[in-house]
C-alpha cells in the first residue's frame, strides 16, 4: 500500500504500480520455463500478450494535466 501512496505524492499514475507488480508473473514464467522446463499453453501466452498490451496502453495514457 505504501507504493500507491508514494506514487500519488510523486504524481505517477497509480495504475502503473499494479501493472509493474503484475510483471513479476512474466519473470516467474520465464524462470520456470528455463529452470524447470515447464510448458506454457495458449492461455499463458494470451495472458502475457494482454498484460504487455495493457501496460503499453496505460503508459501511453495521459492524465488531465498532461502527466502520466
DSSP symbol at 27: H
- CA-closest candidate to residue 23, choices 1, 61, 56: 56
Cβ neighbours, 10 Å, residue 7: 17
Cβ neighbours, 10 Å, residue 32: 13
How high is the pLDDT of residue 43? 92
**pLDDT band of 22, cuts 50, 70, 90:** confident
What predicted TM-score, i.e. pTM, was given to this entire model?
0.60
For residues 65 and 34, which has the higher predicted lDDT (pLDDT)? 34
Reply yes or no on whether the pLDDT at 29 is more than 80.
Answer: yes
Amino acid at each position: 500500500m505504501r507504493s500507491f501512496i508514494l506514487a500519488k505524492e510523486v504524481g505517477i499514475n497509480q495504475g502503473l504500480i499494479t501493472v509493474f507488480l503484475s510483471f513479476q508473473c512474466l519473470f516467474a514464467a520465464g524462470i520456470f520455463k528455463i529452470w524447470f522446463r515447464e510448458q506454457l499453453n495458449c492461455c499463458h501466452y494470451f495472458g502475457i500478450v494482454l498484460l504487455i498490451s495493457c501496460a503499453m496502453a496505460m503508459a501511453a495514457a495521459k492524465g488531465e494535466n498532461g502527466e502520466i
